[in-house]
C-alpha cells in the first residue's frame, strides 16, 4: 500500500457566501450557543495527497478543509479517506464502507454548493462534527489501527476508489446525506428531528439488532433532584410537585415523540439532549430512586444507519442498493456533473 504524502503550498482562497441549511447532528447535540463564523487566513496548505487519487474523478476536485486551526487544501479522494477512517469502522463490510463513501462525498458536495462550513468562513468543510464530518489524519489512523494500519487504510482506499465520483442526488441536486450509527428497527424522519420535511429523509426499516451492534441498548438513571434540576434549566416553569413523567407518545419509528416532564411537554429529541442519551428511541420509568431511561440505537436516526448498512452488506446488498434503501427516491450522479 502506498502511503499518503504530505506536502505544502500557498494559494489564494476563494469566498463562499450561500447559507447552509442543516448540520449532521440534531439541534440537541449542538452547543447551546453557536459561535460566530471564524475568519481564516487566505494562505492555505495541502493536508495530504494520496497517490491513489491520481487519475480519479475525486482526485480532480479540490476541497478546502478547516483542520488543526487552519485551512488546508486537498483533493476529494484524500479528504474522504480521512472521513471514512473517522466515521465508520474500517472492519465493516466493503459495500457498507462504499455506501459511507458515497454519503460522505455527497455531504461534502452539498456543503460546497450551499455555502461551505457554517463555522469557518471560506472553508468548504471542517472537522467539527456539529457542522460537518469527523476526520482522521494519518497519525490518528496509525494510533487507532496500530499494526493493522496498512490493511485498514487499504480497505478505506478501496471503498473510496470503488465509488469514485458517485454522489446521491434528488432531482439532480446533491442530497443532505445525513447518517447515524444505529437505529431501533426503523430510521427517523427529518421532520421529527429538524422540523422540516425532506422527501428522501423518511422513516425506513433498518435491519441491525443487538446481536450486531455493541451497546445497542443502554440505560441511564438520574435521581429525582437531578431530574428536576435538569428540566428546570431548560424549562424554568417546570413544577417540583407535578408528576415526574407522564403522557409519553411515540412516533411511527418507535422513538419518543414527546412526554410531559414535571408538568412541561418536552420533545423526545430535547429529552435526549438534556440527559445526554444515546438515542431518542427510549423507554422512561420511575422507581423509588429516580428516573430511568432505556435507549435503543445510537444517533439522531435520520438517513443511513451505519450498522444497518453493514447488515445489508452482509446480506449481499451492494453500495448502490444501500444508498437507495436509506435515501429513497435518489439516484447516483457523477461528481464532475455537480461541481
Does residue 131 share a domain with residue 235? no
Is residue 159 a part of any domain in this protein? yes
**Could you tell me if residue 232 is inside a domain?**
yes
In a domain? residue 14? no
Domain contains 302: no
Tell me 21's DSSP state: -
Residue 67, domain member (yes or no): yes
CA distance 111 to 132: 8
Give the number of residues written for the chain. Answer: 339
CB 325 within 8 A of CB 206: no
With a cut of 80, say whether residue 25 has pLDDT above it. Answer: no
In a domain, 56, yes or no: yes
Asked whether residue 162 falls in the same domain as residue 256, the answer is no
Give the phi and the psi of residue 250 in degrees, each rounded to 5: -100, 150
Residue-wise pLDDT for 217-273, tens only, equals 999 999 999 999 999 999 999 998 889 999 999 999 999 999 999 999 999 999 999
Q: HEC string of 275-336?
A: CCCCECCEEEEECCCEEEEEEECEECCECEEHHHHHHHHHCCCCHHHHHHHHCCCCEEEEHH
Are 154 and 32 in a shared domain? yes
* Shared domain check, 224 and 141: no
pLDDT digits (tens, 9 = 90+) for 158-196: 999 999 999 999 999 999 999 999 999 999 999 999 989
48 and 91 inside one domain: yes
- Total structural domains in the chain? 2
- Residue identified by cell 450557543 is 33
In this prediction, residue 40 carries a pLDDT of 56
Task: Give the phi and the psi of residue 337 in degrees, each rounded to 5.
Answer: -90, 0
> Looking at the structure, do residues 165 and 46 belong to the same domain, yes or no?
yes
pLDDT per position as a tens digit, 66-78: 988 889 999 999 9
Q: Are residues 232 and 161 in the same domain?
A: no
131 domain-assigned: yes
Q: Examine the pLDDT at 11 and tell me if it is beyond 60.
A: no
Question: 235 lies in which domain range?
Answer: 217-296
72 shares its domain with 173: yes
305-324 pLDDT, tens digit each: 999 999 999 999 999 999 99
Is 237 a member of any domain?
A: yes
Tally Cβ neighbours within 10 Å of residue 218: 15
Alpha carbon 29 to its chain's center = 11
In terms of domains, do 165 and 248 share one? no
Amino acid at each position: 500500500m502506498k502511503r499518503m504524502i504530505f506536502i505544502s503550498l500557498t494559494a489564494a482562497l476563494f469566498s463562499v457566501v450561500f447559507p447552509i441549511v442543516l448540520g449532521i447532528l440534531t439541534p440537541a447535540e449542538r452547543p447551546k450557543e453557536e459561535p460566530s463564523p471564524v475568519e481564516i487566513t487566505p494562505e492555505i496548505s495541502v493536508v495530504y495527497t494520496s497517490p491513489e487519487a491520481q487519475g480519479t474523478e475525486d482526485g480532480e476536485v479540490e476541497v478546502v478543509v478547516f483542520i488543526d486551526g487552519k485551512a488546508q487544501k486537498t483533493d476529494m479522494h484524500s479528504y474522504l479517506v480521512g472521513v471514512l477512517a473517522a466515521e465508520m469502522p474500517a472492519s465493516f463490510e466493503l459495500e457498507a464502507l462504499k455506501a459511507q463513501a458515497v454519503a460522505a462525498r455527497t455531504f461534502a458536495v452539498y456543503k460546497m454548493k450551499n455555502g461551505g462550513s457554517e463555522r469557518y468562513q471560506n472553508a468548504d468543510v471542517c472537522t467539527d462534527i456539529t457542522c460537518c464530518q469527523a476526520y482522521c489524519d494519518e497519525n490518528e489512523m496509525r494510533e487507532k489501527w496500530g499494526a493493522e494500519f496498512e490493511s485498514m487504510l487499504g480497505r478505506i482506499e478501496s471503498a473510496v476508489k470503488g465509488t469514485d465520483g458517485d454522489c446521491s442526488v434528488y432531482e439532480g441536486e446533491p442530497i443532505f446525506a445525513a447518517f447515524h450509527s444505529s437505529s431501533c428497527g426503523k430510521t427517523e424522519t427529518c421532520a421529527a428531528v429538524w422540523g422540516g420535511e425532506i422527501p428522501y429523509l423518511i422513516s425506513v426499516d433498518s435491519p441491525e439488532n443487538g446481536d450486531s451492534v455493541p451497546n445497542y441498548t443502554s440505560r441511564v438513571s438520574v435521581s429525582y433532584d437531578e431530574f428536576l434540576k435538569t428540566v428546570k434549566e431548560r424549562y424554568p416553569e417546570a413544577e417540583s410537585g407535578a408528576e415526574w413523567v407522564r403522557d409519553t407518545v411515540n412516533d411511527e419509528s418507535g422513538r419518543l415523540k414527546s412526554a410531559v416532564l414535571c408538568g412541561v411537554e418536552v420533545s423526545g429529541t430535547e429529552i435526549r439532549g438534556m440527559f445526554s442519551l444515546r438515542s431518542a428511541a427510549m423507554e422512561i420509568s420511575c422507581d423509588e430512586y429516580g428516573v430511568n431511561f432505556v435507549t435503543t440505537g445510537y444517533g439522531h436516526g435520520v438517513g443511513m444507519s451505519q450498522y444497518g448498512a453493514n447488515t445489508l452488506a452482509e446480506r449481499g446488498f451492494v453500495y448502490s442498493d444501500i444508498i437507495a434503501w436509506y435515501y429513497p427516491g435518489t439516484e447516483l450522479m457523477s461528481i464532475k456533473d455537480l461541481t
